[in-house]
Amino acid sequence: MALIEIKNFKKSFGSKCVHEDVTFYVKKGECVGLVGGSGAGKSVILRSLIGLEKPDSGQIEIDGVDISKLSENQLINIRKKVAYAFQGGALFDSQSVYDNLAYPLREHTSFSESEIRNKIIVQLTEFGLADSIDLFPSELSGGMQKRVGLARAMMLEPEIILYDEPTAGLDPYNTKKIQELILRLKSKGVTSILVTHDMPTAIAVCDKFAFLKDKKISEQGTIQQLTENKNSLIHQFIEGHMI
Ligand SMILES: Nc1ncnc2c1ncn2[C@@H]1O[C@H](COP(=O)(O)OP(=O)(O)OP(=O)(O)O)[C@@H](O)[C@H]1O
Ligand SMILES: [Mg+2]
């Protein structure tokens, strides 16, 4: 059964139509790679999945609930189970790594500060960041900032994770670390959408691909299905992004 389902999604900004008719689904436990050129509207789709954008028409269903119909209050529950790992990391610059990770727990749970501290230590250890607990974002490398952003997105143990270019700009070591994290979460049953231009990572972690082009999902399927057809658009896209 589909845990995430986007049906006939349509979205314009002013007179600019970004999505005309986007339809795809993600089954529980799957990782779907959402790929497409810059400006194709990948981040808009991810933002819509946590209710930060409303479709002009169409449905965005999570576990059978159309979230585009929910109030801001009702969306709070959705945001507890759907984590969005933002494209730029989106850390709070004036707060330490500890406070960045504490934020979702302080906002959404009633854990005591000592419980919060224990959870953060476990999480940072898992992400290889235990030594950075008291540092500020400006004191971290880009790769570490990305990992802190992911660690924060996962503090509430979400069922669904939306990754927006988690490996962009990272060196091979940090890229591998992120791939391992995505695979580890997947093995725990987390459902995810991975937006990326990094095809080796997408091929390493995704079960399926959806290719966004011309305001719709123009092709979708497993990597084998899509690459068997050498004339397919996604085949050419993947070839062009393998370096
Ligand atoms: N809030 C907004 N107001 C106006 N236009 C927007 C807004 N958000 C996105 N857009 C437009 O929608 C289009 C798709 O943007 P989006 O950020 O989803 O692209 P993307 O596929 O994620 O690109 P990239 O790979 O560069 O991150 C762009 O043309 C962008 O300018
Ligand atoms: Mg984007």
Each of the 243 residues of the chain gets a pLDDT tens digit; together they read 899 999 999 999 999 999 999 999 999 999 999 999 889 999 999 999 999 999 999 999 999 999 999 998 888 888 888 998 876 668 999 999 999 999 999 998 999 999 999 999 999 998 889 999 999 999 998 888 888 988 898 888 899 999 999 988 888 888 898 899 899 889 999 999 999 999 899 999 999 999 999 999 988 888 888 777 777 777 777 777 665
Residue 223 contacts residue 229 (beta carbons within 8 Å): no
Alpha-carbon distance of 178 to 155, in angstroms, equals 16
CB of 22 closer than 6 angstroms to any ligand 1 atom? no
CB of 41 closer than 6 angstroms to any ligand 1 atom? yes
Alpha-carbon distance of 167 to 154, in angstroms, equals 16
pLDDT of residue 157: 86
CB of 137 closer than 6 angstroms to any ligand 1 atom? no
Is residue 85 classed as helix, strand or coil in its secondary structure?
Answer: strand
For atom 25 of ligand 1, which residue has the closest CA?
Answer: 38
pLDDT of residue 128: 85
Whether domain 2-171+183-193+234-240 has CATH 3.40.50.300: yes
Alpha-carbon distance of 183 to 47, in angstroms, equals 23
CB of 35 closer than 6 angstroms to any ligand 1 atom? no
- Which pairing describes strands 191-195 and 31-35: parallel, antiparallel, or unpaired? parallel
Q: Which residues contact 95 (CB under 8 A, 6 or more apart)?
A: 103, 136
pLDDT of residue 88: 66
pLDDT of residue 89: 67
Query: What is the number of the ligand 1 atom nearest to the C-alpha of 36?
Result: 21
Alpha helices in the chain (DSSP H): 42-49, 72-81, 97-108, 113-126, 142-153, 172-187, 199-205, 223-228, 233-240
Quote the distance between the C-alpha of residue 17 and its chain's center.
23
pTM for the model stands at 0.90
Alpha-carbon distance of 101 to 199, in angstroms, equals 29
pLDDT of residue 14: 93
Closest to 220 in 3D by CA, of 4, 11, 20, 22: 22
Distance 202 CA to ligand 1 centre (A): 21
pLDDT of residue 153: 87
Quote the distance between the C-alpha of residue 163 and its chain's center.
2
CB of 39 closer than 6 angstroms to any ligand 1 atom? yes
Distance 13 CA to ligand 1 centre (A): 9
Q: Which residues contact 23 (CB under 8 A, 6 or more apart)?
A: 6, 7, 8, 9, 216, 217
Closest to 166 in 3D by CA, of 140, 196, 145, 211: 196
